[in-house]
Amino acid sequence: MAIDAPQPDEAGMVLLNTDLTDVGKVPTHSDGVPAVELSDSTKTNKRQGGKHLPAEFYSHHLSDAAKDRQPSAILSLFPLENTPGVISLLAGKPNGDTFPFNWFQYSVRTPGNPDQETVIKIDDDALREGLQYGRSAGQQSLIDLLVGLQEYSHGRRVGEGWRLSVGNGSQDLINKAILAMVNPGDPVLLESPVYSGVIPMFQSLNCEMIEVASDPEGISSESLRSVLESWPAGKRKPKVLYTVPTGCNPTGATTSLRRRKEVLASARDHDFLILEDDPYYYLYYGSAPRPPSYFALEADEPEVGRVLRFDSLSKVVSAGLRIGFISAPEVFVTAIDSHTATSNLHPSSLTQMVVYTLLRTWGYERFMLHCKGVSDFYREKRDVFERALRMHLDGLAEWTPPDAGMFYWFKLSLHTPGSAEADEDSEAVIRTKALEKGVLALPGTVFLPNGKKTAYVRAAFSLLSDQAIDEALRRLKEVVIEARGLSGEKARLP
Amino acid sequence: MVTTAMPKITNGISAVKHLPAEFYAPFFSHAANKRKPSPIRALFPLEGTPGLISLLAGKPNASCFPFTSISFTARSPTDPSQQTNLELDKNELAAALQYGPTVGEPSLVNWVFGLQEYSHGRKRGEGWRVSIGAGSQDLLYKAITAILNPGDAMLIESPAYAGVLPMFEHCEQVEVDTDADGINPASLRSIMQNWPAGKPTPKVLYTVPFGSNPTGSTTTLERRKEILSLAREYNFLIMEDDPYYYLYFGEAARPPSYFTLELEEPEVGRVLRFDSLSKILSAGVRIGFATGPEPLLTAMDMHTAMANLQVSGLTQVMVSTLLNSWGYDTFKIHTLNVSNFYREKRDIFERYMRKYLTGLAEWSAPEAGMFYWFKLLLGGEEEDSETVIRTKAIERGVLALPGTVFMPNARKTGYVRASFSLLDEPEIEEAIRRLRDVILEERAAVGKD
């Protein structure tokens, strides 16, 4: 379903044809608050006899907050605007003639040809759309393009019970998804260690955060199964599992195919849904083939519709844009759109237009080529970091190199005199000795949902030069040596 | 620009007294109180240590971002035939593309500080600060979440902006009357005087003081002062939602904002002000800003840090670049152009209202914003515009918004709201003419004429 991109001329210039036929009427509340289209049935659920889980199945997976949201009374009026000949005084949109912008233009490096640039101009109808209120779910043309990307990358098609919405970064969508699925006090399953940015979302709901062990192979399906099989009878079971399956933050681990399949089987056996938070999916650089996403794999399951997938453009296109997207069963995407209509209306129309024009210009293949360039960059940094780790911390730390993303997760072998291994605490060392020696890594405790101590630290290798990486790890070596109460030479583990 | 007395400045230090941080403790919701500061952020200041190499930040490397330049043009407010070409410089481009501060891009935040002084006479050091949001809607939502618990009572002008009603749906919404002069302090006073003893009093009043949506009314100066006085007397905060502030086109001098007027109070710090660029620069970029007491903004920022991190750097930098290139005087001229645009539309609408609906509807012409609010005189006992809209109006090819959607607590009303922002003159005339036919038909049906 790749869309042919306009070819650049010799100077590498492409002026986008801004005659966008898909710039259509945007249903909004009269105040400009975009309307939620509750049954956008042209885009979903039209599959003949599909094996996807029906909408009714999810009623026990929706939170009370999601069920409580009242549909907008104004919504029912907007279809009437399409009645031929009707003059509508409904929409409280400002008049775009007063917005002072004439055109917006950006240039991008051509993937695979870094000396070449493409210039993309946004004006006329495209700019008008980019400057005006839009739909809660996002710009339809962008959604269509991203749906095509999901087919290209994950083999999932329209009509399988899922829908796609654009958000203000994947963070925005994850937060709303959790609010749509989890009631206060609910138990939830989290891989551990876990992306620290998601912990406050569960804390604010007073969730019981059940940690599922993980290791260099990713989330432990054995640990997951064990937790669920020994679940106390009569106690409310967790309905949600949160995981970052590619280049996990902080561990860097990528969950193996074998384990992914087992997790999906557990999801079916124990009736929970999987929040697949995958911002490093396109930053995979392992020598083994990239494992398929949960979203892809579930298409082979007896029931389809247990995966809510979150994609982000922050690591591959731009973090400052704040554009992410969710691909999930219709009922959750609708709940999220409804929440968006109240909380922040919709993601920025202009940044959506930038992303749309960029992806349309490149097409999926060139986008993948770009992502390959990005993952090559991170692989090289990973190699530099690995070299420096072996040179300076061999015998003083334990680690497994990541195959995706930008994080190293390693345990400092502190062997603090008089301290049991379980009580090792990297945080104290970071705040004192490491600081003194001029190096900062992130204490692993911030990634443990229940705040336990740990000797692990997380280091990001995205930003530093090769020399800085080398020097940082050299300093860390000295920190560990000093913490172990040794002087001078390195000691090796027996 | 500012018409009220400025506070005394002694030795360069503002003498404005502001409410202390402790004052706000009872105003926070359970949700706000539960939030913990990010442990990672707590480490960031350490990065400033000279010579230190930090492996902390999980930011992606910007060299992977494919953008090499961003530029745009904007029409000059002083000469529409001229346009300014603006290109983001290296630093601006880097800021646009990378993760940035929760409160907003420094260049935009600084511009807003300056604007609040320029427009409202408020200076730094008075206990308030600024946060940028993904539209003022985003900031309203976070403010409400930071202050109100489910079941709390709050005061809301009625009718009210329909987009904010869902945010209050778990609260007890106590309606304060409004009329052509805006919110009615006598109604508010009466509510508070009759407040049940022992029942917790409302923490906030929500109001849109200029070109209120849907009524179009602008609250008079005298009433604003009374409201401020009531806020002090009954200890509530004022959420001043002001997206049409710069769309005021009345003949009388523009009344000062609550944010300005609170300078005349014994202490400042009861006003939480929301500005929006949606009606003056672009609705699609989603940029608004909250201005108010530091503790309230901090609570809102903590919510942002969890929920959506920050506003798009790209749109912030673009807007900031434009606004800084204009300066405040040119910005003011731009807003005057915009408000003139809406005044002309208002004049056209008024002309046809008088021509076709005299005796068939009741209304007051708005002096700000883009809405007309008028009661259809349908002749029946019950005042209900909704049925007529959904049946006869549609048949006759005209749609206005039934006023019932703006009632915090569902009730019928004979009012409708019409927006005059988008239509040209022939469409306005025809729409009102059709409404006339609708009203006449309905009146005939009930035997009125």
When CB atoms are compared, the residue of B54, B75, B138 closest to A100 is B75
Report yes or no: A406 and A279 within 8 Å, Cβ to Cβ: no
Q: For residue B341, what pLDDT band results from cuts at 50, 70 and 90?
A: very high
Instruction: For residues A420 and A400, state if they share a domain.
Output: yes
Query: Same structural domain for residues A336 and A417?
Result: no
Return the pLDDT at B14.
63
Two structure tokens written together for A23? 């710039």
**Is residue A296, in this structure, part of any structural domain at all?**
yes
pLDDT score at A66: 94
Residues A338 and A403 placed together within one structural domain of the fold: no
Task: Give pLDDT, residue B9.
Answer: 58
Q: Hey, what amino acid is at A401?
A: P
**Topology of B24-45+69-75+83-330 in CATH?**
Aspartate Aminotransferase; domain 2 (3.40.640)
Position A45 scores a pLDDT of: 38
Strand (E) or helix (H) holding A329: strand A324-329
A435/B99 touch (CB, cutoff 8 Å), yes or no? no
What is the separation of C-alpha A163 from the centre of its chain, rounded to a whole number of angstroms? Answer: 16
Residue B89: count other Cβ atoms within 10 Å of its Cβ.
12
Number of domains in chain A: 2
φ/ψ (deg, to 5) at A292: -65, 155
- Mean of all residue pLDDT scores within chain B: 94
For an interface test with B, give the residue of A23, A86, A98, A450 to mutate (most B CBs within 10 A). Answer: A98
Q: Which of the four pLDDT bands, split at 50, 70 and 90, describes residue A79?
A: confident
Q: CA B248, B251, B256, B257 torsion: positive or negative?
A: negative
The Cα A352–Cα A349 span in angstroms is 5
As given in the structure block, the two tokens for residue A406 are 């930008």
Residue A491 lies in a domain: no
Token readout for B199 is: 């029942």
SS3 of chain B: CCCCCCCCEECCEECCCECCHHHHHHHCCHHHHHCCCCHHHHHHHHHHCCCCEECCCCCCCHHHCCEEEEEEEEEECCEEEEEEEEECCHHHHHHHHCCCCCCCCHHHHHHHHHHHHHHHCCCCCCCEEEEEECHHHHHHHHHHHHHCCCCCEEEEECCCCCCCHHHHCCCEEEEECEECCEECHHHHHHHHHCCCCCCCCCCEEEECCCCCCCCCCCCCHHHHHHHHHHHHHHCCEEEEECCCHHHECCCCCCCCCHHHHHHHCCCECCEEEEEECCCCCCCCCCCEEEEEEHHHHHHHHHHHHHHCCCCCHHHHHHHHHHHHHHHHHHHHHHHHHHHHHHHHHHHHHHHHHHHHHECCEEECCCCECCEEEEEECCCCCCCCHHHHHHHHHHHCCEECEEHHHHCCCCCCCCEEEEECCCCCHHHHHHHHHHHHHHHHHHHHHCCCC
A27 within some domain: no
Test the B interface: residue of A122, A314, A343 with most B CBs within 10 Å:
A343
Q: Domain boundary at A326, A343, A368, which?
A: A368
Rounded Cα–Cα distance for residues B133 and B311 (Å): 6
Tokens 């503002």 correspond to B14
Which residues, listed in sequence order, are joined to residue A243 by a DSSP beta bridge?
A: A276
Tokens at A236, concatenated: 């409310």
| Listed range (A43-52, A102-111, B406-415) with the worst mean pLDDT | A43-52
**CA separation, residue B34 to residues B42, B146, B304, B410 (Å):** 17, 10, 14, 33
Q: Are residues A258 and A398 in the same domain?
A: no
Q: What is the pLDDT of residue A5?
A: 41
Give the closest of A33, A106, A322 to B163, CB-based.
Answer: A33
Q: What is the pLDDT of residues B186-236, one digit of tens each?
A: 999 999 999 999 999 999 999 999 999 999 999 999 999 999 999 999 999
- Of A308, A343, A368, the residue at which a domain comes to its end is A368
Strand order in the sheet with A307-312: A162-167, A324-329, A307-312, A273-277, A240-243, A187-191, A208-212
Q: Is the same domain home to A277 and A360?
A: yes
pLDDT level of residue B45 (50, 70, 90 thresholds) = confident
User: CATH code at A406?
Assistant: 3.90.1150.10
DSSP state of A9: -
- With H, G, I as helix, E, B as strand and everything else as coil, classify residue A270: helix
Beta bridge partners of B241: B274
- Residue from B30, B35, B53 whose CB has the most chain A CBs within 10 Å, to mutate: B53
Residues A227 and A263 in one domain: yes
Q: Are A185 and A205 in contact (CB under 8 A)?
A: yes
The amino acid that residue A163 corresponds to is: R
Confidence check: pLDDT of A27 > 80:
no
User: Do A263 and A382 reside in the same domain of the chain?
Assistant: no
The last residue of one of the domains, among A368, A401, A436, is A368
What is the CATH code for B342-445? 3.90.1150.10
Q: How confident is the model at residue A22 (pLDDT cuts 50, 70, 90)?
A: very low
pLDDT(A13) > 50: no
User: Contact, B448 vs B379, CB < 8 A?
Assistant: yes
Domain assignment present for residue A160? The answer is: yes
Neighboring chain A residues of B312 at a CB cutoff of 8 Å: 168, 320-322, 348, 351
**In a domain? residue A68:** no
- The helix (H) or strand (E) run that includes residue A125 is helix A124-131
Half-sphere exposure of B342 (CA within 13 A, CB side): 34
Looking at the fold, whether A351 and A420 belong to one and the same domain comes out as no
Q: Which residues of A touch B431 (CB under 8 A)?
A: 87, 89
Q: What is the mean pLDDT of residues B117-138?
A: 97
Burial, B410: exposed, middle or buried (Cβ in 10 Å; 0-12, 13-18, 19+)? exposed
> Do residues B218 and B209 make contact, with C-beta atoms less than 8 angstroms apart?
yes
Q: Which of A379, A487, A392, A485 is nearest to A439 (CA)?
A: A392
Contact A169 B420 (CB under 8 A): no
Which has the closest alpha carbon to B180: B211, B142, B217, B147?
B217
Q: Is the dihedral of CA A8, A13, A19, A25 positive or negative?
A: positive
β B67-76/A324-329 pair status = unpaired
Q: Which helix (H) or strand (E) holds A26?
A: none
Domain containing A296 equals 101-368
Residue in chain B lying closest to A448 (CA):
B39
Q: Cβ of A89 and B162 within 8 Å?
A: no
Instruction: Classify residue B8 as exposed, middle or buried by CB count within 10 Å of its CB (0-12, 13-18, 19+).
Output: exposed
Residue B16 scores a pLDDT above 80 = yes
Written as one letter, the residue type at B1 is M
CB contact under 8 A, B430 and A87: yes
Which of B43, B55, B399 has the CB atom closest to A90's CB atom? B399
Which of B64, B279, B411 should be substituted to probe chain A, the one whose Cβ sees the most A Cβ atoms within 10 Å? Answer: B64
Compute the distance between CA of residue A173 and CA of residue A168 in angstroms, rounded to an integer: 7
In a shared domain, residues A254 and A304? yes
* Dist. CA B264–CA A375, nearest whole Å: 59
Q: Which of A69, A81, A106 lies closest to B67 in CB terms? A: A106
DSSP assignment letter at A91: -
The rounded distance, in Å, linking the Cα atoms of A247 and A286 is: 10
- Can you name the residues that pair with A241 across neighbouring β-strands? A189, A274
Q: How many residues does chain A have?
A: 494
Report residue A439 as tokens: 């190096």
Q: Are residues A169 and A308 in the same domain?
A: yes
Contacting residues of A for B99, CB less than 8 Å apart? 314, 319-320
Which of helix, strand or coil describes residue A146? helix
- Between B379 and A174, where is the model more confident? A174
- Whose tokens are 């009146």? That residue is B443
Q: Which residue is it, tokens 């044809």?
A: A17
pTM over 0.80: yes
**Range A256-265 average pLDDT:** 98
Q: Give the CATH number of the domain where residue A147 resides.
A: 3.40.640.10
For residue range A374-419, what is the model confidence (pLDDT) as tens digits? 999 999 999 999 999 999 999 999 999 999 999 999 999 987 666 6
- The angle subtended at Cα A285 by Cα A283 and Cα A286, nearest 5°, is 135
- The domain limits of chain B are 24-45+69-75+83-330, 342-445
* Lowest mean pLDDT across B40-44, B89-93, B115-119, B281-285: B40-44
Taking one residue from A and the other from B, the number of pairs with CB-CB distance under 8 angstroms is 337
Question: Do residues B271 and B240 make contact, with C-beta atoms less than 8 angstroms apart?
Answer: yes
In this predicted model, what pLDDT tens digit does every residue of A289-304 receive, in sequence order?
999 999 999 999 988 9
Give tens-digit pLDDT for A159-193: 999 999 999 999 999 999 999 999 999 999 999 99
Residues whose CB is less than 8 angstroms from the CB of residue A264 and which lie 6 or more positions away in sequence, other chains included? A274, A294, A297, A298, A301, A306
How high is the pLDDT of residue A14? 36
Alpha helices, H only, A320-402: 330-343, 349-393
Q: Which residues of B touch A475 (CB under 8 A)?
A: 53
The pLDDT value recorded for residue B25 is: 97
Question: Does A77 reside within a domain?
Answer: no
Assess whether A417 and A463 both reside in one domain.
yes
On whether the CB atoms of residues A279 and A314 are closer than 8 A, the answer is yes
The reply to whether A186 and A294 lie within a common domain is yes
Closest CA of chain A from B35, distance in Å: 7
Q: Is residue A336 part of a domain?
A: yes
Q: Which two tokens stand for residue B275?
A: 């500005």
Domain membership of residue A338 (yes or no) is yes
| Minimal C-alpha gap between A209 and chain B (Å) | 16
